[in-house]
């Protein structure tokens, strides 16, 4: 494998993990914090829905992918 392929795999892996982590933080911390109910509990992934969770995590992952692509020069996005 070439150096570029390894960098691309690292960028995709790290951005996916970061997107997942940020989405979990949104579900467990942000949503209960902005709820009008003071005693609101954290929202689980199954209550939120798998498809909704994917569509929450995917944009976060793309943001991190774009940033990491620039700094690691993996050339995933065209110039």
Structural domain for 29, as ranges: 3-72
Residue 77 lies in a domain: no
In the predicted structure, residue 1 carries a pLDDT above the cut 90: no
Number of structural domains found in the chain:
1
Give how far Cα 60 sits from Cα of 3, 55, 57, 63, Å.
26, 9, 5, 5
In the predicted structure, residue 57 carries a pLDDT above the cut 80: yes
Residue 52 lies in a domain: yes
pLDDT value, residue 21: 98
Residue 59 lies in a domain: yes
pTM of the model: 0.88
Residue 78 lies in a domain: no
Residue 43 lies in a domain: yes
Residue 26 lies in a domain: yes
Each residue's pLDDT tens digit, 4-54: 999 999 999 999 999 999 999 999 999 999 999 988 899 999 999 999 999
Residue 22 lies in a domain: yes
């Amino acid at each position: 494998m070439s150096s570029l392929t390894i960098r691309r795999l690292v960028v995709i892996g790290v951005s996916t993990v970061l997107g997942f982590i940020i989405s979990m933080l949104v579900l467990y911390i942000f949503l209960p914090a902005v709820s009008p109910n003071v005693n609101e509990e954290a929202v689980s992934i199954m209550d939120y829905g798998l498809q909704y969770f994917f569509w929450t995590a995917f944009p976060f992952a793309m943001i991190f992918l774009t940033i990491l692509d620039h700094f690691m020069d993996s050339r995933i996005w065209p110039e």
